[in-house]
Amino acid sequence: MGLRRPAPGQGPATRYFMSFHYFAGAACRALTARKDGPSLYEVCDPVLAASASGDPHLAKFYKTALGNPALRILLRRAGLPELRDDTKLARLREALVRARDEAEPDWAAVGQPVAELVDSIALDHPKPPPAMFTGSAPPQAQIDGVIRDCAQHLLGSYRKNGFLPTYAAFNLIGDPDFRGRELIMALTGLNARGYKNSSLLFNLARVFIARSPAGAVVNPPWKGIAEPMWEPVQIRHRSAYYDAFFIEALLSYVETGLASAADKTEAERAIADMVDFCVNISREEVEGIDGARFNVITALAPAPHPRFSRYFAQIKQDLGFGVYVPDCDTTACSISAATQAGCTDPIIDQPLLDFYSGYQVRAGINEPRVTVPLNDNIDYEGGVATWIDNLKGERPYGNDLDPTLNLDILEVSFRNLTRWKILETPARLATVHRIIGFQKRLAASGAFANPRSHIYYLPELYSAYFGRCYAAFLALPLAAQALIDPDGDFDFIRHRVLSYVKGELMAAEMNVFDAALALIALGHLGADPRAFAPALNVIVAGLGEGGRRGPFRAYEWNKMKTPTRILVGGPEVTSAFVLMGLAVAKRAMARG
């Protein structure tokens, strides 16, 4: 059972907006299916349900995440016939016992029986059907109206909450690119034991879900590429990474000229508060590879700043997310947003490229820095890894390397080119050149368009972020552009990304979030404004789909592949990206 597309003949209402009838029918089939082999609970209860020995977290995680009554009911008839073989069942339970009781388990051996089961499921990435041709764009007045609606949603949410919330949601069926091989990578490359425990058990559970009718409940079909975030369980929280993009969205609203004087004042007040959250509240000191100290931005500030409810704060701890460390992406995006907002805090003066160079992969020298190489189909040379060791030396997630993150490092470097003396400092310029080389190889091979190449994002989001990076590059003087990109690599990548956006993303059915990302890419990369029409029409037609929560629904912005597929987004996130996409399109159309 894969990430299913709607069956031919389904109407729009039943195809994409799952009704009560869909879920009732899917649940009924899951609850009445013929049971064929031991269930998840018949496998695990003897080992974990009442365990008082060994690592207490494994049993606690099992009871919290997988043993809850609702999931037990849903999966009670989901069995695996191969586990009727007593030898295979005993081998699987033995692996769980080793994970529970051994002080230093051999995680590759522990994970092998689960990895073999994971390889028995078939998941696919969405393959939207071709889109109908759209000739004309909606009137400018309608586009401006959507911009205002999105801005009012953001400002109203900020007034109501005191911040702009984002949400995390678990999809227990897992990620299509995460198979048995990747599970072993995670178990051996992650550092925190709680994170290994959760990865092991989540992946065991996803086999029972994906191979039973329960999969239709957990993973309903959708339109487009970015996954909608299905309710009811979503974890609201705040992060500097999210605030950075909310800052850019409100800045783009002010720049459209559509904001009233009162809205402009309110937006500026929210921007100033979010800049402070990014560069002060979320600031953390770390040590670079050469021992020098730097201030970076942590993904989750200390409590109570992430705004978790007390219930979810405890759940986060129980699931193995007790320690959060800073990361290179949150740092880059936060410093970029603060720079755009005119912040003068000394943190912006740090030449971050000196720090990033210590996390840059050099083939044959520091490749072991990437301990969780889930996207090892790409060449890491020149790329910067994700996670930053804190001062205690903790690295709970091991480390990985994401292409989109590296675009954010380039973008913030272009915005601070003069401040960081990049052209005058050969080592810093060399770091930039090597990241550009990393990106060019992705474009030349076409790997950027393969979802497996990305750790936290989707190819259409990479395309939008490349557009954002390219716009910062074009804002530089021509002489600086020539020194940064003497071989015209950016133009080469631009053509490849435009080809993907126009020839693949927009040639198929899109949802609102896909369309917003397409507009960001097209507008920044200098596409003919007539090419905007399909994305503009998708957005205008989708207005109101969010119901009481906002103009639009919550969609997947970024994701985790471990310990299972965790989506991050929210109605406010969709409004922010739609606002930015329409603002970019509006500027491009005004230029003709």
Specify burial of residue 508 (Cβ count, 10 A radius: 0-12, 13-18, 19+). middle
The answer to whether residue 583 scores a pLDDT higher than 90 is yes
DSSP-H helix ranges across 259-402: 261-276, 310-318, 328-340, 352-356
* Average pLDDT over all residues of the chain: 91
> Phi and psi of 221, rounded to 5°?
-70, 160
- Round to whole Å and give the CA distance between 95 and 265: 59
pLDDT of residue 231: 64
Out of 160, 190, 218, a domain closes at: 218
- Characterize 267-283 residue by residue with b for buried, 16 or more Cβ atoms within 10 angstroms of its Cβ, and e for exposed: beebbebbbebbbebbb
Peptide bond into 232 cis (omega under 30): yes
pLDDT of residue 396: 81
pLDDT of residue 385: 96
The answer to whether residue 313 scores a pLDDT higher than 80 is no
**Better pLDDT: 69 or 319:** 69
- Round to whole Å and give the CA distance between 107 and 556: 31
Average pLDDT over residues 515-538: 97
Lowest-confidence region among 15-24, 143-152, 413-422, 448-457: 15-24
Specify burial of residue 104 (Cβ count, 10 A radius: 0-12, 13-18, 19+). exposed
Do 118 and 246 fall into the same domain?
Answer: no
The answer to whether residue 12 scores a pLDDT higher than 50 is no
The answer to whether residue 14 scores a pLDDT higher than 60 is no
Do 494 and 583 fall into the same domain?
Answer: yes
Residues 490-509 have pLDDT tens digits of 999 999 999 999 999 999 99
Do 273 and 193 fall into the same domain?
Answer: no
DSSP-H helix ranges across 162-211: 180-189, 193-210
**pLDDT band, very low/low/confident/very high, at 339 (cuts 50, 70, 90):** very high
> In terms of residue numbers, what domain contains 556?
140-170+221-591
The answer to whether residue 184 scores a pLDDT higher than 70 is yes
The answer to whether residue 520 scores a pLDDT higher than 80 is yes
Do 288 and 314 fall into the same domain?
Answer: yes
Instruction: List Cβ neighbours of 513 (8 Å cut-off, separation of 6 or more).
Output: 224, 226, 552, 555, 556, 557, 569, 574, 577, 578
- Round to whole Å and give the CA distance between 103 and 197: 13
Within a domain: 234:
yes
Residues 399-453 have pLDDT tens digits of 999 999 999 999 999 999 999 999 999 999 999 999 999 999 999 999 999 999 9
Instruction: List Cβ neighbours of 132 (8 Å cut-off, separation of 6 or more).
Output: none
Do 434 and 295 fall into the same domain?
Answer: yes
Within a domain: 232:
yes
Within a domain: 6:
no
pLDDT of residue 347: 97
Helix (H, G, I), strand (E, B) or coil at 295: strand
Within a domain: 160:
yes
The answer to whether residue 11 scores a pLDDT higher than 60 is no
The answer to whether residue 51 scores a pLDDT higher than 80 is no
pLDDT of residue 13: 35
DSSP 299: S
pLDDT of residue 291: 85
Specify burial of residue 152 (Cβ count, 10 A radius: 0-12, 13-18, 19+). middle
The answer to whether residue 166 scores a pLDDT higher than 60 is yes
Average pLDDT over residues 585-590: 95
Do 387 and 536 fall into the same domain?
Answer: yes
The answer to whether residue 1 scores a pLDDT higher than 80 is no
**pLDDT band, very low/low/confident/very high, at 363 (cuts 50, 70, 90):** confident
pLDDT of residue 455: 96
Least Cα distance to 3 among 536, 397, 433, 556 occurs for 556
Do 74 and 97 fall into the same domain?
Answer: yes
Specify burial of residue 459 (Cβ count, 10 A radius: 0-12, 13-18, 19+). buried
Lowest-confidence region among 206-215, 300-309, 367-376, 413-422: 300-309
If one counts every other C-beta atom within 10 angstroms of the C-beta of residue 334, the result is 32
Q: Is the separation of the CB atoms in 432 and 490 below 8 Å?
A: no
The answer to whether residue 18 scores a pLDDT higher than 60 is no
Do 447 and 366 fall into the same domain?
Answer: yes
Do 502 and 402 fall into the same domain?
Answer: yes
Question: For the chain, how far is it from start to end, CA to CA, in angstroms?
Answer: 47
Within a domain: 310:
yes
The answer to whether residue 16 scores a pLDDT higher than 50 is no
What total number of domains does the chain contain?
Answer: 2
Within a domain: 3:
no
Q: Is the separation of the CB atoms in 327 and 356 below 8 Å?
A: no
**Better pLDDT: 544 or 12:** 544
What's at 487, amino acid-wise? Answer: D
DSSP 225: S
Do 159 and 195 fall into the same domain?
Answer: no
Average pLDDT over residues 31-50: 92
Q: What CATH number is associated with residue 281? A: 1.50.10.20
Do 48 and 145 fall into the same domain?
Answer: no
Within a domain: 135:
no
- Round to whole Å and give the CA distance between 318 and 57: 7
pLDDT of residue 232: 58
Q: Is the separation of the CB atoms in 537 and 138 below 8 Å?
A: yes
DSSP 379: -
Residues 115-134 have pLDDT tens digits of 999 999 999 999 999 998 77
Q: Is the separation of the CB atoms in 328 and 361 below 8 Å?
A: no
- Predicted TM-score of the model (pTM): 0.93
The answer to whether residue 321 scores a pLDDT higher than 90 is no
**pLDDT band, very low/low/confident/very high, at 98 (cuts 50, 70, 90):** very high
Do 40 and 165 fall into the same domain?
Answer: no
**pLDDT band, very low/low/confident/very high, at 299 (cuts 50, 70, 90):** confident
Residues 246-291 have pLDDT tens digits of 999 999 999 999 999 999 999 999 999 999 999 999 999 999 888 8
Within a domain: 53:
yes
Secondary structure, 3-state, 429-453:
HHHHHHHHHHHHHHHHHCHHHCHHH
**Better pLDDT: 392 or 268:** 268
**Better pLDDT: 61 or 472:** 472
- Round to whole Å and give the CA distance between 326 and 333: 12
The answer to whether residue 9 scores a pLDDT higher than 60 is no
Instruction: List Cβ neighbours of 371 (8 Å cut-off, separation of 6 or more).
Output: 188, 189, 190, 191, 398, 399, 400
- Round to whole Å and give the CA distance between 102 and 307: 36
pLDDT of residue 310: 62
